[in-house]
Structure 1
């Protein structure tokens, strides 16, 4: 028998695989798609919350087709489903596009124009209140101002506070704070060409002042604000109306509250003026 003491010893080791092993990076692609979809979803939610109903309608109308599209497009009763080749108006009567079927509600161009007008009014509001930056109004005076966008336009409400009236001695002479605000308003109103409406409001008077002329005072305050705006550069032709409401349109349930002493200046939408 041959001597095998010097023969090499060979050891075979088997590698045991635990689990499924490496499957590549497909999961990364799927995860990236998921994150992108979620980001798009939240962006859509934000856009729906940040736009008005009129703006959304304007955008929807903008992307609506303006070319007649119909299932029955004329030309015989065969493959294409028309009634016959001699009816020139079959597309208008039976189509589902611009000229047939359900018509579009409103003028898309008008909707876009209104959306652009609202955007300009929002820019004016941002300039006044300092949305996204510093306000043009001093902080103390800014406590007297609130704004809101309505169907009629941008309403800028300036109201009195305890110890800080808009008019001196409960009359029609503007206080320094209102004079300062009017200068800012006139400067910012130059950003747009919208007509302007001014409305004066007063609080009720106690019984001891039963002859307190609330109508004359509220109207006089509107006139005073008009004079301040035009003196600071507002074109008088932009004035659409001056109104005195007396003490009949209260902002606070307590008719004697100083909060009811206020002026409302509205940058009117063009549509509101035309109607």
Structure 2
């Protein structure tokens, strides 16, 4: 048999690379950064819409550095320009971020000027009340006057209530002429009112008329008495320009369970608040 010419067997190994082979994973890092940035962006949008101005300022203060990045703002658009998304003016980056406090309209409850005026009123009202209480013990006449006076501080101001008793009246039989008692009270009040510049209101209340009365004259009576008290204060040299209101309430605001009780006959002289 003839010898066979055998060719050498050569084995080739091919390295097959698939389409989804490893590319280093850099795209995953970039994608994760993108997702994180988007989440932070939407979180910011939600916070801006779900929080109050005070809360936003608190958040801004938390993330604002306490050490200035640049001592003086150049007013530019760069990193050191001093601008902020919450600021309405260009400010140095001095750790005081957040919204700029704008002046509030006069009379606003949170207005510092209104709060200062209210505090001043409270202090002055307290001094006048102390002065009235201090009259007690000075003389028998002063003690008798204090029996007809009650004071209280309300949202409107310092209310000084002057009332009748069963034996001591504020007006004569005609219902309009002040008695000596009311004149003496006015002589005490006006010098105390001169210690402040607040406006004054005068209001009158009367007791209910008996049913047998043919016509209800409580409105005319209360208005006439408030006008008489206003005139009496002016005669005692209270500046008439300070009197802002004169009102008669008739028998609509009784203080005694008995509508015919003379305790319901009373005057209210009110030192109004400055605001």
- Please tell me the TM-score bracket, short chain as reference: 0.5 to 0.7
* SS of structure 2 residue aligned to 1:114: helix
CA contact (8 A) 1:71 1:96 kept: no
The answer for the alignment partner of 1:250 in structure 2 is 254
Aligned to 1:92: 87
CA contact (8 A) 1:154 1:266 kept: yes
Q: 1:203 to 1:240 in 2, by over 3 A?
A: same
Output the TM-score relative to the length of structure 2.
Answer: 0.63
**Matches of 1:131 and 1:179, distance apart in 2:** 16
Q: Structure 1 240/116 Cα, relative in aligned 2: closer, same or farther at 3 Å?
A: same
Which residue of 1 is the match for residue 267 of structure 2?
263
Match of 2:234 among 211, 230, 238: 230
Residues 36-93 of structure 1, C-alpha deviations (whole Å, 9 max, x = no match):
xxxxxxxxxxxxxxxxxxxxxxxxxxxxxxxxx8122279xx9xxxxx6567024638
Q: What residue in structure 1 maps to residue 63 of structure 2?
A: 72
Shift of 1:210: 3.4
Change (3 A) 1:188 1:105: closer
Structure 1 residue 112 displacement after superposition:
2.0
CA distance in 2, matches of 1:209, 1:134: 43
Q: CA deviation at 1:132?
A: 9.7
Q: Distance in 2 between matches of 1:105 and 1:240?
A: 23
Q: 1:92-147 deviations in whole A, cap 9, x for unaligned?
A: 389776638xx997122331222012101111111112289859971011100000
Q: Is 1:208 paired with 2:212? A: yes
Q: Distance in 1 between matches of 2:235 and 2:210?
A: 35
Task: Summarize the alignment of residues 1-275 of structure 1 with structure 2, pairs less than 5 Å apart.
Answer: 70-73=61-64, 88-90=83-85, 92=87, 99=100, 106-130=110-134, 138-169=142-173, 171-271=175-275
| Contact 1:203–1:250, Cα closer than 8 Å, also in 2 | yes
8 Å Cα contact 1:203/1:260 also seen in 2: yes
Q: 1:171 to 1:131 in 2, by over 3 A?
A: closer
- Secondary structure of residue in 1 paired with 2:144: helix
* Distance of aligned partners of 1:122 and 1:142 in 2 relative to their CA distance in 1, 3 Å threshold: same
Rounded Cα–Cα distance in structure 2 between residues aligned with 1:269 and 1:145: 20
In 2, Cα distance between the equivalents of 1:246 and 1:206?
14
> Normalized against structure 1, the TM-score is what?
0.63
More helix by share: 1
Matched residue count: 195
Q: For 1:208, what is the secondary structure of its paired residue?
A: coil
Gaps in structure 2 of 5+ consecutive residues: 1-59, 70-78, 89-94
Q: 1:96 to 1:198 in 2, by over 3 A?
A: farther
Does the 8 Å CA contact 2:136/2:142 hold for their aligned counterparts? no
Task: Name the SS of the counterpart of 2:124 in structure 1.
Answer: helix
d(CA) in 1 for partners of 2:162, 2:114: 32
5+ residue gaps, structure 1, are: 1-68, 79-83
Aligned partners of 2:203 and 2:268 also within 8 Å? yes
Structure 1 moving runs of 4+ over 4 Å: 84-87, 93-98, 131-137
Give the conservation status (yes or no) of the 8 Å contact 1:141–1:181.
yes
Q: Distance in 1 between the 2:81 and 2:136 partners?
A: 63
Could you tell me how far apart the structure 2 residues matched to 1:98 and 1:146 are? Answer: 48
